[in-house]
Chains A and B, each alone.
Chain A
């Protein structure tokens, strides 16, 4: 089990529990298809992400379309570097912590 989900206010908090995030591990399609519209992806456990892993996040985001909101939190180190390098830091709202994201993201 590499994902833990939890409902908080309108958000579905998706916490990825592994250190390395790759496309094969991140399965969010079912969650989005089940109708969750406000998704908060918590990456605080993730130290490493490759292009395919980032692609999986992007594809979840695309799947959600304009219907809801998709935000990231707990982004650090190499994960942040990859978001900067691919300009995805300008696409996703990024919050330092879960608490901040719940408070400020709408």
Chain B
């Protein structure tokens, strides 16, 4: 079976992380969301996948290559232009991007699945496909109920008793919303849907195609079945999803590495003496990481690969990227350390260079000078230590 994964978005709401990695490549405890999506599609005999790429396309393409490692065939439809050494996105819209592929090769020759590259799902596609065929639908949307306050983030639908979509409204304000049943960005389409997408113009699935299908009264259906849906739309979503996985609340998500102690997992080549550190689960420790005696780590926390966590530091509920050295009096609480920034779960970021805190957090590939002789760093460290002794 064929599928298309929409991965050309800029991920503006997940900045600053998406400055460096495209949203589908954001790792949830080491594994990019995109890899989990492909593994899931494979369970339903999907073996040929087109991934649309644009923003940071090479990061996706060099990870998946031709799909050999995941056991599927993968092709890319690049939506952009290389100009002045930089990739510039070409706004085709999600439907326009699919139309481009169809006009190019006629790839979609049978019923196919469409998913967005930014949500972790365990949807039973068997059921969705059966419903789609039974209804003789040309486009079927997987629906979910949300609260009224959440509707502005999504497309909202109105269905009749048969599940036929009679109205589609893209990102309405709560007072204008026709329902609280929303589009999850997961679809099953027939190739005939391309008859309703004009060529070579910007055309969006949510903004243009769906309202048009509903308006025209075509066999366009929605199905609501319970499934797990972790949509990584914002930094807060990313933070929340990672914690849920670590806490074991996400069914069927296989954590990497091996369990070292209850609730503590790690990769290979670790150097950690568990008798000499304080560690509270759940914690995942990436491969080749060093944790020195006297460090305190509280979960839910993910420490990346090739990190160095020095003695005396405190890490509490953090996501720390690969190659990070944490040292001195550093006390990291509820932070995402990524791309030389400390980002709090709401998305506010502290730039490590600008704030001049590399005496606390730095790239572990830099030479380790131990105690830094910056006068203010010494002054602050001394005071922190005095206070720790007296209290």
Contacts and interface: CB of A to CB of B under 8 A. Distances in A.
Interface of A: 23, 48-52, 54-56, 58-59, 61-62, 77-78, 81-82, 84-88, 90-91
Contact of B377 (A48, A49, A55): A55
Contacts of A84: 331, 333
B387 interface: yes
Contacts of B201: none
Given A51-B359, A56-B376, A62-B379, A86 B342 contact: no
A77 B342 contact: no
Interface residues of B, number: 27
Nearest to A52: B376
Contacts of B329: 86-87
Interface of B: 329-333, 335, 342, 344, 348, 350, 354-357, 359-360, 374-377, 379-380, 383-384, 387-388, 391
A50 B342 contact: no
Given A51-B374, A78-B348, A81-B342, A88 B380 contact: yes
Contact of A59 (B348, B355, B374, B379): B379
Given A23-B376, A85-B342, A90-B391, 10 more contacts: A48-B354, A50-B356, A50-B357, A51-B380, A54-B380, A81-B344, A81-B348, A81-B350, A85-B331, A86-B384
With a 10 A CB-CB cut-off, give which of A23, A62, A78, A81 has the most chain B CB atoms.
A81
Given A81-B344, A84-B333, A86-B360, A51 B355 contact: yes
Contacts of A87: 329, 331, 384, 387-388
A77 B360 CA distance: 19
Contacts of B375: 55
Given A51-B356, A55-B375, A77-B348, A85 B332 contact: yes
A87 B313 CA distance: 11
Nearest to B333: A84
A50 B375 CA distance: 14
Dominant secondary structure at the A interface: helix
7 contacts: A50-B355, A52-B356, A55-B376, A81-B342, A81-B348, A84-B331, A87-B388
A54 B376 contact: yes
A82 B354 CA distance: 12
A23 B380 CA distance: 13
Given A51-B356, A51-B357, A78-B348, A91 B379 contact: no
B387 A90 contact: yes
A78 B387 contact: no
